[in-house]
Structure 1
Amino acid sequence: KGIELCSRILMPLLFLFMIVLIVTGLMQEGSWEGVKYLFYPDFSKFSFKALVDAMGLVFFSYSVGAGCMLTYGAYLDDKTDLINSSFWIIALSLIVSLMAGLMILPANFAFGMDSTAGPGLTFITMPAIFSQLPGGQFFAVVFFACLIVAALTSAVSMLEIDITWMVQELKISRPKSVVICLLFMLILSIPCALSFGVLADTKLFGKTPFDLADFFVSNLALPVGGIISAILAAWFAWDKVHTQWPTKEGYPAWKKWLRILIGVFCPALVLVIMIAGLI
């Protein structure tokens, strides 16, 4: 009745606000350049590094390799169609990502801001759009409140992995597990936060604590976790998945190929991404 109830209300509200902001941004003069920037292909800028970066973003966006999907999968009943559920997760995430691009980039070009500013665009472009809206200050407060909830729910999904492990394996109560994980993450986050302040000039291997943590997670931890997850799913837990597809003819042939795809092709591809990222 806490964060879940808030999510049921605020997440649809955030979705509605995204639509309003997309329409508002597209109404601004010069916004179409942002649409072309987002969707018009420029193959001259395509490179192997761009491909690796895009695939790395997929790892981060879908929490592949972090264990989130495995943890949530453990809560599903045997009647859940994993392939269908996976499709909807990917499809809905893609739609929301495209909406986020349409929400920010057209307005970004309309107001002449730097399109390469990364996550900072949310905190630069959105206030500029709100300033053009009637009652923009109210919209700004509600939007960023929804954004906080979105970030909080994402943090909960990540912490659930560690909390579940502590409850089931270490037999620590859930409230204590939550507090322990919270304090642990708080301590680890301090150097990252200070990387934008007093530790900005403190570097290891040429990277600030924040950049070092980002590099380690994105280029090493997540790919290794993804490889392990794929191997475990294909070669150690396949019988559990296999029971979801009973047919009169037996085990569908195309799903045998799916096992090869998950257990051989995916780990090999992820290994290439990891090596390229480290180099």
Structure 2
Amino acid sequence: MSKLSHAQWSSKMTFILAATGSAVGLGNIWRFSYLVGENGGAAFVLVYLACVALVGLPILVAEWMIGRRGQANPINSMLKLSKDNKLSPLWSLVGASGILAAFLILSFYSVIGGWSLNYTLSSVTGAASGFSGLDAEGVGAIFSGLLGSPGTLTLWHTLFMVLVILIVGRGVTKGLESAAKTMMPALVILMLVLAGYGMTTGHFGEAMAFMFSPDWSALTGGTVLAAMGQAFFTLSLGMGIMLAYGSYLGEDVNLIGTARTVILLDTGIALLAGIAIFPIVFANGLSPGEGPGLIFVTLPVAFGNMTGGALLGLAFFLLLTFAALTSAISLLEPTVEMLEERTALSRVSATLVGGIAIWALGLAALMSFNVWDDVLFFGLNIFDLLDTITAKFMLPLTGLGAILFVAWRLDRQSVTQELGLSGGTETLWLLVARFVAPIGVIVVFVNSLL
């Protein structure tokens, strides 16, 4: 590895918090919960855990290793390692794809973050009482009203991006680390509070059985593929994030051990989200298989029809906002790092330029719900197009490129030495990194095209 000359995380713990914060986002709380509900509960959870270990962990380690060795933004890191190993500079496309994916994802992710901010403020101001006594159709009408107002969506999208820009512009130590140190503990505390409430609903046992007592008859090929896709995307893989975060990582950090810690924390919070959400769902006679509307339609019905629901709703949507912010700041970082290193822009200027460009694209995404709802590309509106391009194409291909580069193109001896592997552990790493993880990604990618 090269001598470290890049900005560095102040400690291993702050890096773990930041990496976990990136991984923990709407995908853990919103997407994971509705996928568990749609795919039969425990069977999905167990397959998901296996996929995290066999596909997620090796790709996470590979992306960190590339970043740490390159000590630069994802493009420059890939260029440097390619040159050092006498490989084609075209490998830098892996880094470029990751940065572009993060850029595109944040443009519509910030729109969803704005929804969460809106619901949080509604809880604070008492506007959430408007949910009282409403059924799913009534709450759905409120959500549809939000989507149908470009002015309101722009306000919340803008406010969310301003928060992200302010944090990232402060740099690694004052920005990324400070946010992780503050928001991650707050997120866990709020989650525990909600889980504690779930224990008082009288339906906690039903929720636990749903999540942890598998009905293998519910396991289908679609369930396995959904679990593998969630395992891949929940760890922020293929987005340039972990390549960028790895570039701030010191040589003394054990990559595999740290990856295990991050994955355990990330997965633990996802499971805790289910433990918090499903007792509320069952207690109110709602269906756990409501799909993407579980968070913004189904749960508000529950909050609006229970004692103390306004306060509980505030805690939940504040939690959702924290989770969205921890992921959003990591999504902006690859673009900022690239602009800072490949142009004459300062950290603050790079953050403003990158953030404003993402904000502008986000305007197009939010208008796809209203004034531009008839603007379609391949039958998809702008919001769905951005989601489809990144989720189905860019993320799996970028993650696949990273693991193939490390497992097949970098010097095997240097990789195993850096990872502290020998004997059986080296054999296991080579098996998983060279075959299991790439095949898993390819299967998900090909299935997504069918």
Using the size of structure 1 for normalisation, the TM-score is 0.85
Asked if 1:258 corresponds to 2:429, the answer is yes
Report the CA distance between 1:260 and its aligned residue: 4.6
Report the CA distance between 1:219 and its aligned residue: 1.1
Q: Give the whole-Å Cα distance in 2 for the aligned partners of 1:97 and 1:166.
A: 33
Aligned to 1:39: 212
Aligned to 2:158: none
Matching residue within 327, 346, 364 for 1:173 = 346
User: In proportion to residue count, which structure has more helix?
Assistant: 2
Q: Give the whole-Å Cα distance in 2 for the aligned partners of 1:232 and 1:3.
A: 28
Q: Give the whole-Å Cα distance in 1 for the aligned partners of 2:293 and 2:181.
A: 27
Aligned to 1:184: 357
Distance 1:262 1:170, change over 3 A: farther
Q: Give the whole-Å Cα distance in 2 for the aligned partners of 1:201 and 1:44.
A: 41
Matching residue within 99, 106, 113 for 2:272 = 99
Amino acid at match of 1:22: A
Asked if 1:272 corresponds to 2:446, the answer is no
Amino acid at match of 1:275: V
Report the CA distance between 1:193 and its aligned residue: 1.8
Q: Structure 1, residues 176-199: CA drift from partner, whole Å, max 9, x if none?
A: 211121122112222322333333
- Where 2:288 maps in the other structure, the secondary structure is coil
Q: Give the whole-Å Cα distance in 2 for the aligned partners of 1:276 and 1:67.
A: 23
Of residues 109-118 and 197-206 in structure 1, the stretch that sits farther from structure 2 once superposed is 197-206
Q: Is the 8 A contact 1:26 1:107 kept in 2?
A: no
Distance 1:70 1:232, change over 3 A: same
Aligned to 2:394: 221
Q: Is the 8 A contact 1:28 1:110 kept in 2?
A: yes
What is the percentage of aligned positions where both structures have the same residue? 30
Report the CA distance between 1:156 and its aligned residue: 1.0
Aligned to 2:302: 128
Mapping 1:221-260, distance limit 5 Å: 221-238=394-411, 241-244=415-418, 251-252=422-423, 254-260=425-431
- Where 2:418 maps in the other structure, the secondary structure is coil
Q: Structure 1, residues 224-268: CA drift from partner, whole Å, max 9, x if none?
A: 001111022223445654443569xxx545325523532344223
Q: Is the 8 A contact 2:183 2:326 kept in 1?
A: no
Q: Give the whole-Å Cα distance in 1 for the aligned partners of 2:367 and 2:213.
A: 38
RMSD: 2.7
Q: Is the 8 A contact 1:227 1:267 kept in 2?
A: yes
Amino acid at match of 1:43: W
Q: Is the 8 A contact 2:179 2:326 kept in 1?
A: no
Q: Give the whole-Å Cα distance in 2 for the aligned partners of 1:6 and 1:177.
A: 19
Amino acid at match of 1:102: I
Aligned to 1:114: 287
Q: Is the 8 A contact 1:104 1:121 kept in 2?
A: no
Using the size of structure 2 for normalisation, the TM-score is 0.55
Amino acid at match of 2:368: S
Aligned length: 275
Asked if 1:212 corresponds to 2:385, the answer is yes
Distance 1:174 1:127, change over 3 A: farther
Report the CA distance between 1:81 and its aligned residue: 0.4
Aligned to 1:9: 182
Asked if 1:88 corresponds to 2:243, the answer is no
Of residues 189-198 and 57-66 in structure 1, the stretch that sits farther from structure 2 once superposed is 189-198
Report the CA distance between 1:126 and its aligned residue: 6.1
Q: Give the whole-Å Cα distance in 2 for the aligned partners of 1:243 and 1:166.
A: 33
Aligned to 2:318: 145
Q: Is the 8 A contact 2:336 2:347 kept in 1?
A: yes
Q: Is the 8 A contact 2:198 2:279 kept in 1?
A: yes
Aligned to 2:221: 48
Distance 1:71 1:263, change over 3 A: farther
Asked if 1:161 corresponds to 2:161, the answer is no
Distance 1:254 1:69, change over 3 A: same
Of residues 10-19 and 122-131 in structure 1, the stretch that sits farther from structure 2 once superposed is 122-131
Gaps of 5+ in 2: 1-173
Distance 1:199 1:207, change over 3 A: same
